[in-house]
Structure 1
Amino acid sequence: MGAVAIPLYIPYLLTGKWILGAFLCKLWLVVDYTMCTASALNVAVISYDRFLCVTMAVLYCSLQNRHSQTVLRMAMVWILSFLLYSPAILLWDSIVDYTYISEGLCIAGFHYNYYFLLVASSIDFALPFLSILFFNLSIYWNISKRNRKKRQSSLRLFSGVKGDNSGPHIAATNAVLSSAQSAMEAHMREKQRILKLSKDKKVAKSLAVLVCIFTVCWAPYTLLNSIHAACHGYCIDYYLNEVTFWLLWMNSAINPVLYPLCHKQFRKAFLKVFIQICLWKTEG
C-alpha cells in the first residue's frame, strides 16, 4: 500500500488533478481497492485462526502442519478482494453509458452509485466486522468459562486437602504414595491449564486491540462513503472525507505491526524476511 498507492496519490492530492493518464488511474484504483479489502479480510482470517487456537486447540494443532490450508486461505482472501471491486473499476464505463465523474479526476465509476457501494461495503466491512465480533465474543466466552472452572477446581482441591488433614490416621503407605502421585498429576494438569489459559488471555487482548483499530479505521470511511454516494458528494465536507480516506490507509500500515502480536508465526515470518533482506544487502 505504502509503496504503490500512496506515492501515486500524493501528486493527485497536491494538484487536485490526475495527471498520470487513464491506464495508471485504473491500475491505482485496482491496487488501492484490492489491498484495502484484503487488509479487512485478513483481520477476519486472523480472528478465525485465533478462534480455533483458543476454542479448538486439538483441531488447530492438527491443522498447523497443513500448509495447503494456509495457502488456500491467503489465495481466497486475495481473489475475493480482487473480484469485489476490480471488475467494476475496469468495466464500469463500458456497462454504464453515463458518468458523474469530471475530467481530471481519478475515482471509480461507481463512486456515486449508492446501491453498489452498499452491497460492496457489506462484504468488505460489515461481513468481516460481524465475523470478527463473533470470533472475539466466542473467545472471551470460552476464557470466562475456563476461568470459572479454574476457580471451582481450586476450591475442590482445597476442600480435598482440608478433608484429608482432618482424618485420624492413614491406612497404608502405598495408599499414601498413590494419593500423592494422583495429587501431583492433578497439580501438573492444573498448571498446564493455567499456562494455556494465561496464553489465551494474551491472545484475546492482542486480538481485541487489532479489532478495535480495524473498527476505528474502517467504520468512518464506510459510513461517510455511503452517505457521500447517496448525496453525490454534496453533503460531506471534502476534508472530512479525506481524513477518513487516510484513516483507512493507516489501518493497512498499522496491521503489519499488529499481526505479530496476535500470532507467533507472523513474528517468525517477519524475522525470516528481515534476515533474508539483511543477508541480501550484505552479499550485494
Structure 2
Amino acid sequence: MFVDSRRREGAAAFRHIFHVQMDGATSDRESPLMKYNYVALILGVLLILLVVLGNILVCVSVLTERSLQTATNYFIISMSAADLLLALLVLPLFAYSEFLGGKWTLGMTLCDALMTMDVMLCTASIFNLCAISVDRCIAVLVPLKYNQNQFSSRQLGLIAATWVLSLGVASPVIFGMNQVADRDLSTCKLEDDRFVVYSSVCSFFVPCPIMLLLYFWMFWGLRRRRSRTPLKDPCHRRSFCSTLVLALCHAKSLTDSVSDGEARTQRREGQRNRPKTVMRSRKASRVSRRERKAMKVLPVVVGAFLACWTPFFVVHVTKVFCGWCTVSPTLISVVTWLGYVNSAVNPVIYTAFNTAFRNVFHKILSRWM
C-alpha cells in the first residue's frame, strides 16, 4: 500500500516535470514569433520605396529639365542625395531591428557604422537647408550680383561644406565614442550621453535658429524692396523697346530749341544711358519675382523638416538631462520614424507647391509608364 502510493506520487511528479519542460520548449519556440513586429516591417518597406522613388524623381527632373537647372535646385539635389542614402543605408537596418522588436543581432561594428551614417545624413539634410537659406539670402539682398553667377563656385563650396561638416559631426561614433564599458549588446543606439547632446546641438539646435533668422531677413528684404518700388515706374511697366522709343521721341522734341548736333548728342545719350538703367531695373525686378516665387516653397520645406525632426531631438535631449523622466522605447521609436518620414515628404511638397516640378514629374512618369 505504501509502495503503491509512492509509485503514484513518483509518476505524478514525472508527468508534472515533463509537462513543464514541454511547455517551456513550446514557449521558447513561440516567443520569437510573438515578438516580431510585422507592422514595422511593412511600413519600413513602404517608406523606403517612397523615399527612393520620390527623390530619384527629383534628381532626374533637375538633371534632365533645363528650366529646373537653377542654383536652388542643385541644393535640392544635394538634399535628395542625403535622403536617398538614408533610405538605402540606414532605413533597411533600422526596419530590420524594429521587426525584431528593437533587438540588434548584427554586431557592434555594423551598429556603429549605422549610427555614423544616421547622424551624418540627418545632419546633411539640415545643413543643406541652411545652405539654401544662405544662398537665397544672397539672391534676395544682392540680386544683380547673384543673377550673374548662376551655379558658381560659391554654391559648390556651400554644398561641399555641408557634407564635410556633417561627416565631422558624426565621425566621433566611428572612432570609438560609442564604445562604453557597460554597453548593451542587444540594442543599437548612441551610448554616450555627451555625444547625444553634442550631435543634437550641432545638427539641430544651432542650425535651426540661424536658418529661421536668415528667412526672416529675406522676407524683410523682399518687403522693403516692394515698398521702395514705385507703383507707376515706367521701368517696371514698359518693355525695353518701348522705353527706348520714348527716350528717342523725347530727344527729337528737343530739336525745336537746340541745334541738330545737340539733338543728336541727346539721342546718343538717351540710347546709351537710359537703356542701361532700364535693363538694371528690369533685371532686379525679374530676380525679385523669381525669389518671391521660390520663397513660397522653401518655407514649407523648412516647416515640414522642423515638424518631423523637432520631437526626435527634444525627446533625446530630455532623456539625457531629465534623469527622473520616463521615456519609453515606444516613444523613441515613434519620433525616430517621424523623422525618417521627412525624407519622403519633400518630393510631395515640390509637386504640390511648384508648378515647374509638377509638370516635369508628370512628363517623366508618363514617359516611364
The answer to whether the aligner puts 1:220 opposite 2:220 as a matched pair is: no
Q: Distance in 1 between matches of 2:334 and 2:185?
A: 23
- Per the alignment, residue 23 of structure 1 pairs with 109
Greater gyration radius: 2
The alignment covers a number of residue pairs equal to: 248
- Correspondence for 1:9: 94
Q: Deviations over 1:248-267 (max 9, x none)?
A: 11223334665799999x97
d(CA) in 2 for partners of 1:206, 1:14: 36
- The structural deviation recorded for 1:190 is 6.1
Write out per-residue CA displacement over residues 30-68 of structure 1, whole angstroms, 9 at most, x where no aligned residue: 11111111111111001111111111123323443534x
Query: Are the equivalent residues in 1 in contact too, given 2:144–2:284 (CA < 8 A)?
Result: no
Distance 1:119 1:26, change over 3 A: closer
Q: Give the conservation status (yes or no) of the 8 Å contact 2:116–2:170.
A: yes
Post-superposition Cα deviations, 1:85-109, rounded to whole Å, max 9, x if no partner, equal 2323541255x5x33x423101122
Kindly indicate whether residue 222 of structure 2 is the aligned counterpart of residue 143 of structure 1: yes
Aligned to 1:79: 164
The separation in 2 between residues aligned to 1:173 and 1:76, in whole angstroms, is 59
- Matched residue SS, 2:87: coil
The aligned counterpart of 1:160 is: none
Distance change (3 Å), C-alpha of 1:233 and 1:82: farther
Match of 1:131, as an amino acid?
A: I
CA distance in 2, matches of 1:233, 1:216: 26
Residue number in structure 2 paired with 1:161: none
Q: Which runs of 5+ in 1 are unaligned?
A: 158-169
Aligned-CA RMSD value: 3.8
1:1-284 equivalent positions in 2, closer than 5 A: 1-16=86-101, 17-64=103-150, 66-67=152-153, 69-93=154-178, 96=180, 98-99=181-182, 101-110=183-192, 113=193, 115-150=194-229, 153-154=230-231, 173-174=253-254, 193-231=284-322, 235-255=326-346
Is the Cα–Cα contact under 8 Å of residues 137 and 215 in structure 2 kept in the other structure?
yes
- What is the TM-score normalised by the length of structure 2? 0.57
Shift of 1:208: 1.0
Note if contact 2:108-2:185 (Cα within 8 Å) is conserved in structure 1. Answer: no
- Cα pair distance change 1:26/1:188, threshold 3 Å: closer
Q: In structure 2, what is the Cα distance between the partners aligned to 1:139 and 1:43?
A: 14
Normalising by structure 1, we get a TM-score of 0.72
Work out the CA distance in 2 between the residues paired with 1:139 and 1:133: 10
Q: CA deviation at 1:187?
A: 7.8
Aligned mates of 2:352, 2:165 — CA distance in 1? 26
